[in-house]
Amino acid sequence: MPARAAKAASERKTASAMPDDLNAYRAFVDAAVRRYAAVGVHEYAVENEPNAANFWQGNPEQRKRLVVEAAAAIREADPKALVVDPGISSTAYGAAIAKRLLDKGHPEEAVAAYQRYYARRFPVRGRKLPQVSDEAGLRAALDGEQARGDLAYLQLADRLAAAKVVDVRQLHFYEPWDNVPALVDYLGATLAAGFPVQAWEVGVFWVGGPADPRPGPERPSRWWRCCWPAECSG
């Protein structure tokens, strides 16, 4: 599809919302899973990046109910199927990493981690992801609408994984690569040992950055092989 047509199609898309008729929704999921299981598809993600307003119009509790309903329908239609969580947007993890460090009593590390994670986002998203220089500024940023929403959906993702409503954590990551160790540490602390993680979206967000002459998939794959725990997949 030409870039202009793809952009136009994206602009016409509306955000998902809680179905008015859950029986009809379950029937749709059942039909879709049975159709694609027959051709070898056995992994299903329920929606995409629900912490982003352009993808999801509901709230976390509605999101939880939708995933529970979808997961049950998927497993009934295909007992071999894996239910994958929708993937929280890459930017959400910076707030989560910083909050975890704050909660552990490491405010200076938390500020540094926050600044490092969002280094390439500040020029374009500084209003929702403000720069901080001290603990007070960081706490204010984490109490902002953007961070509170991101943290709520990450916590929901953790609860769904712990309850085994989903079988796989889907990871989206587009930040500078020196954030990978902190991200891995966060996931290791919030997910049960051995819980599968799949990196579905991995790339680089860098407005005005230099072009990397190497093919795109090569660099991320090396990072995940080097940095990801053995019990996870990437």
Digit-by-digit pLDDT tens for the chain (234 residues) are 444 544 555 566 788 989 999 999 999 999 999 999 999 999 999 999 999 999 999 999 999 999 999 999 999 999 999 999 999 999 999 999 999 999 999 999 999 999 999 999 999 888 899 999 999 999 999 999 999 999 999 999 999 999 999 999 999 999 999 999 999 999 999 999 999 999 999 988 877 766 655 545 445 544 444 444 444 444
Q: Which runs of E-coded beta strand occur in the chain?
A: 43-45, 82-84, 169-173, 197-202
The predicted pLDDT at position 204 comes to 86
**Structure tokens, 134:** 């001290």
Helix, coil or strand: residue 182: helix
Residue type, 197: V
The predicted pLDDT at position 115 comes to 97
Helix, coil or strand: residue 52: coil
- Do the Cβ atoms of 87 and 94 come closer than 8 Å? no
Residue type, 123: P
**Structure tokens, 198:** 């799949």
Helix, coil or strand: residue 227: helix
How far is residue 66 from each of residues 16, 30, 81, 168, measured CA to CA in Å? Answer: 11, 14, 17, 17
Residues 6+ apart with CB under 8 A from 148: 142
The predicted pLDDT at position 229 comes to 45
- Do the Cβ atoms of 160 and 150 come closer than 8 Å? no
How far is residue 86 from each of residues 46, 166, 177, measured CA to CA in Å? Answer: 5, 10, 22
